[in-house]
Amino acid sequence: MRLSVLDQSPISEGATGPDALRNSIDLAGHAESLGYERYWVAEHHATPSLACAAPEILIGAIATATSRIRVGSGGVMLPHYSPLKVAEVFSLLSGLHPERIDLGIGRAPGTDPMTMLALQRDRRQRMPDDFIEQLIELLALLEGRLPENHPYVRLSQTLPGRPERPEPWLLGSSPQSALWAAELGLPYSFADFINPDDGPAIAADYRGRFVDSERLGAPHVMACVVAICAETDEEAERLASSGRMMFSLLRQGALIPIPPIEKALAYLATRSPGSARRGVVGSPERVRAGLEETAARYGADELMVLTITHEHSARRRSYELIAEAFGLASAPETAPAASRAAG
């Protein structure tokens, strides 16, 4: 089983955004040494919980601080940007770090409607929902596939990282994203932590509709799962309380930094058990079994693990225990020393 990491750069209560970003760079180096396949950073805006507003900048810092692990976006929220700008940024990253950059592309805004409007250049009206046109243009720019009479055809020849280019992925949590990924011959990353009930059927539909392409010869499914691992089930459940409180309040429209365990436990004691967000939580044996069961449900080629805890040391340890449980091959720590982690 290939395992990867999704990082949302969580900001713990009492810490700062820069602390969270340094922690992300530290965790990426640790994940590389543990044998994880990829390290993706998310895009979220205007929240005190997460410091991942500009994944392309964090990707550059992480790729520089590591030497082997693939680094990418989970994902770039394409509706906010012009396809050319995204193509230029990820071409440049690929030129600096050949064969290591993934471009995960998402359709969701990664924020609330007001912030989405604030991100627009023209705020006189909301932007049209033309994601598929944007996606096709972006891929054509990166791959030099624009028709000869297209007004942008020369632009694809000036991308700064040519001939290097990123590996494109489509992210999603709905049937529509699976359909587009299949039709375009793209690898597909599904957010199990958003839509676990429908996920396996959507992944099966993607595989059934997949069209072989020069991009990818066969369908490739990666499921992204929330997981927290500790030495015991009880300790893992305690650690998970911080993220559960944050997500519970998020669903109510309240945004907070990641709370400490005791504060989270006190809050969750006032909530019904059914309000907890889905995740695989427990000892190494329990987490391995849960992740293997998830992979089997999806027929997944790869799993991506998202872990949020209040203490950065607990997040590092969780990924260590998961790597040990799956027997990931550890790689020598040849990357430059990352900035000292906070928390």
Residue 333 lies inside a defined structural domain of this protein: no
Q: What is the mean pLDDT of residues 32-44?
A: 97
The pair of structure tokens assigned to 51 is 């410091």
Residue 167 lies inside a defined structural domain of this protein: yes
Quickly state the pLDDT bin for 274 (edges 50, 70, 90). low
pLDDT of residue 52: 95
d(CA 61, CA 57): 7
Among 114, 92, 94, 110, which Cα is nearest to 102's?
94
Residue 337 lies inside a defined structural domain of this protein: no
Residue 271 lies inside a defined structural domain of this protein: yes
Residue 338 lies inside a defined structural domain of this protein: no
pTM for the whole thing?
0.92
Cβ neighbours of residue 26 under 8 Å, at least 6 residues apart?
312, 316, 338, 339, 340, 341
Quickly state the pLDDT bin for 261 (edges 50, 70, 90). very high
List, for residues 212-245, the tens digit of each pLDDT value.
988 999 999 999 999 999 999 999 999 999 999 9
CB 289 within 8 A of CB 237: no
Residue 107 lies inside a defined structural domain of this protein: yes
Q: What is the CATH number of the domain that holds 179?
A: 3.20.20.30
Q: What is the mean pLDDT of residues 262-291?
A: 89
Residue 133 lies inside a defined structural domain of this protein: yes
The residue segments making up the domain with residue 82 are: 2-326
List, for residues 130-140, the tens digit of each pLDDT value.
999 999 999 99
List, for residues 197-211, the tens digit of each pLDDT value.
999 999 999 999 999
d(CA 99, CA 43): 22
Residue 285 lies inside a defined structural domain of this protein: yes
d(CA 81, CA 76): 9
What secondary structure does DSSP assign to 9-69, as a single string? -B-BTT--HHHHHHHHHHHHHHHHHHT-SEEEE----S-SSB--S-HHHHHHHHHHH-SSS
Tell me how many domains the chain contains: 1
